């Protein structure tokens, strides 16, 4: 498998590009590489056009861009419905229409959008609808990964009519489209004639209608049933990531493959840990004697506890790194680190013995400071 190019490189942008920079770069490249206007090989231009549209889809979306910046292509691979970017994943068709207007200046009528988004032609077996399911995980669950069983309502093929929607399977030719499944519209603009082909609204592009509706599904050809699905959660998954389960969505209404199930993960905020990518940050309170004299103590980790050595003379807000005690990295690439910030605890109440000792300590500090100044002056 060939490694994908960096999305910023594809659009010719720096990592700190603003949303306006991203839109401007895409606009310029879209006009340059459109297959009907470029001087380059048409096949190469179409690939280029798709590559830069994929980059735009990710970088112009704040959440997708954050995942990409943290995890690279692995962080956004689950955002696409077909195991890789397809035009059905592109959610900015409006931006393309803004760039090309009514497309008259480029001499291709509506063919650009037909080519990209499949708006014309007779419908054959098509994929079922994809579904979205949201789950919430604790930070510990996100670190551990594992399997969850979820119940998802899905449309499945009616077993009585085999998805045809017709009682006893009896169908007739659609009178609206004459059984072709598509309707042709012709528009005259000046000396040019534009032809658009759309699926028949009456038969949905099948060219056939039921003589009588199936009594079990009411002519829909599908029934809604709840399915239990095992969701495999990878270790180290982050908030906002999307998992794709091929074929676990709605069934096709006309004999095509089932849609996909997309599971969107929401990781709850933790009461102790703050997460930055695969690294964790934790504040730990330590009393004055331990930071002054040094100590070894147990601190919480995402998996349990681990020992941290505090050297003598540690200052407040000092940060210590615990290597490998952070979150697991995706795709088994080791673990992040845990950073412990020291917060010195000052007791609110002291007994008489503690007060005496602290006063004596303060006197010694003053005396040592005076001796140091006297030696320096001498």
CB 278 within 8 A of CB 295: no
The pLDDT score that the predictor gives to residue 272 is 96
- Whether residue 201 is predicted with pLDDT greater than 80 in this model: the reply is no
- Whether residue 373 is predicted with pLDDT greater than 70 in this model: the reply is no
**192-199 contacts at long range (C-beta below 8 A, 24 or more positions apart):** 192/104, 192/109, 194/109, 194/110, 195/109, 196/109, 196/110, 196/114, 196/119, 196/120, 197/120, 197/121, 198/119, 198/120, 199/122, 199/123
- Whether residue 122 is predicted with pLDDT greater than 50 in this model: the reply is no
- CATH 1.10.287.110 applies to domain 1-119: yes
Q: Which residues have C-beta within 8 Å of that of residue 151, sequence separation ≥ 6?
A: 226, 227, 228, 229
- Whether residue 321 is predicted with pLDDT greater than 70 in this model: the reply is yes
- Across 149-153, 280-284, 289-293, the highest mean pLDDT is recorded for 280-284
CB 272 within 8 A of CB 139: no
The pLDDT score that the predictor gives to residue 163 is 76
- Whether residue 120 is predicted with pLDDT greater than 60 in this model: the reply is no
- Whether residue 90 is predicted with pLDDT greater than 70 in this model: the reply is yes
- Whether residue 2 is predicted with pLDDT greater than 60 in this model: the reply is no
- Across 105-114, 135-144, 213-222, the highest mean pLDDT is recorded for 135-144
The pLDDT score that the predictor gives to residue 190 is 59
126-155+215-268 with 274-346: one CATH topology? yes
What's the whole-number mean pLDDT along residues 316-325? 95
Quickly state the pLDDT bin for 82 (edges 50, 70, 90).
Answer: low
Quickly state the pLDDT bin for 104 (edges 50, 70, 90).
Answer: very low
What's the whole-number mean pLDDT along residues 165-178? 84
| Token pair recorded at residue 372 | 């140091």
- Architecture of the domain delimited by 274-346: Sandwich (2.60)
Task: Judge if pTM exceeds 0.85.
Answer: no
Measuring CA to CA, which residue among 194, 35, 226, 227 is closest to residue 120? 194
* Separation CA 64–CA 215 (nearest Å): 45
- Whether residue 172 is predicted with pLDDT greater than 80 in this model: the reply is yes
DSSP H/E element including 199: strand 192-199
- Across 23-37, 66-80, 194-208, 290-304, the highest mean pLDDT is recorded for 290-304
86 or 53, greater pLDDT: 53
Return the residue matching tokens 């669950």: 141
- Whether residue 274 is predicted with pLDDT greater than 60 in this model: the reply is yes
What's the whole-number mean pLDDT along residues 65-73? 83
- Whether residue 63 is predicted with pLDDT greater than 70 in this model: the reply is yes
The pLDDT score that the predictor gives to residue 15 is 92
The pLDDT score that the predictor gives to residue 375 is 45
190 or 228, greater pLDDT: 228
The pLDDT score that the predictor gives to residue 378 is 47
The pLDDT score that the predictor gives to residue 202 is 78
Mean pLDDT computed over every residue of the chain: 81
What's the whole-number mean pLDDT along residues 277-293? 93
Say which CATH class 126-155+215-268 falls into: mainly beta
- Whether residue 151 is predicted with pLDDT greater than 60 in this model: the reply is yes
* Separation CA 312–CA 291 (nearest Å): 6
The pLDDT score that the predictor gives to residue 149 is 93
What's the whole-number mean pLDDT along residues 322-333? 90
What's the whole-number mean pLDDT along residues 153-182? 84
Measuring CA to CA, which residue among 118, 129, 88 is closest to residue 197? 118
Q: Which residues have C-beta within 8 Å of that of residue 255, sequence separation ≥ 6?
A: 125, 163
- Whether residue 178 is predicted with pLDDT greater than 90 in this model: the reply is no
* Separation CA 195–CA 101 (nearest Å): 17
| Token pair recorded at residue 300 | 């919480």
> How many percent of the chain have pLDDT more than 70?
79
Domain residue limits, the chain? 1-119, 126-155+215-268, 274-346, 354-378
- Whether residue 374 is predicted with pLDDT greater than 50 in this model: the reply is no
- Whether residue 123 is predicted with pLDDT greater than 70 in this model: the reply is no
């Amino acid at each position: 498998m060939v490694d994908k190019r960096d999305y910023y490189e594809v659009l010719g942008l720096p990592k700190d590009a603003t949303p306006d920079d991203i839109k401007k770069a895409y606009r310029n490249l879209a006009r340059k590489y459109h297959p009907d206007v470029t001087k380059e090989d048409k096949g190469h231009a179409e690939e280029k056009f798709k590559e830069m549209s994929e980059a735009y889809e990710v970088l112009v979306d704040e959440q997708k861009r954050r995942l990409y910046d943290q995890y690279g292509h692995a962080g956004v691979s689950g955002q696409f419905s077909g195991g890789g970017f397809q035009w059905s994943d592109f959610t900015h068709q409006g931006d393309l229409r803004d760039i090309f207007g009514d497309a008259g200046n480029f001499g291709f009528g509506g063919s650009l959008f037909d080519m990209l988004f499949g708006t014309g032609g007779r419908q054959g077996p098509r994929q079922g609808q994809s579904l979205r399911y949201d789950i919430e995980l604790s930070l510990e669950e996100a670190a551990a990964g594992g399997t969850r069983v979820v119940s998802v309502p899905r449309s499945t093929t009616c077993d009585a009519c085999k998805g045809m929607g017709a009682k006893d399977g009896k169908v007739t030719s659609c009178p609206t489209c004459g059984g072709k499944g598509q309707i042709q519209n012709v528009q005259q603009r000046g000396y040019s004639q534009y032809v658009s082909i759309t699926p028949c609204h009456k038969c949905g592009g099948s060219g056939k209608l039921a003589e009588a509706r199936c009594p079990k599904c009411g002519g829909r050809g599908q029934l809604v049933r709840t399915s239990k699905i095992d969701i495999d959660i990878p270790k180290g998954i982050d908030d906002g990531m999307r998992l794709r389960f091929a074929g676990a969505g709605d069934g096709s209404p006309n004999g095509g493959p089932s849609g996909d199930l997309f599971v969107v993960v929401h990781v709850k905020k933790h009461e102790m840990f703050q997460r930055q990518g695969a690294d964790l940050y934790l504040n730990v309170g330590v009393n004055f004697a331990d930071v002054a004299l040094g100590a070894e103590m147990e601190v919480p980790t995402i998996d349990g506890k681990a020992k941290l050595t505090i050297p003598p003379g540690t200052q407040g807000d000092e940060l210590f790194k615990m290597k490998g005690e952070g979150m697991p990295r995706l795709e088994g690439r080791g673990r992040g680190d845990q950073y412990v910030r020291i917060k010195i605890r000052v007791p609110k109440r002291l007994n008489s013995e503690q007060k005496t000792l602290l006063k004596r300590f303060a006197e010694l500090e003053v005396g040592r400071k005076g001796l140091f100044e006297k030696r320096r002056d001498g």
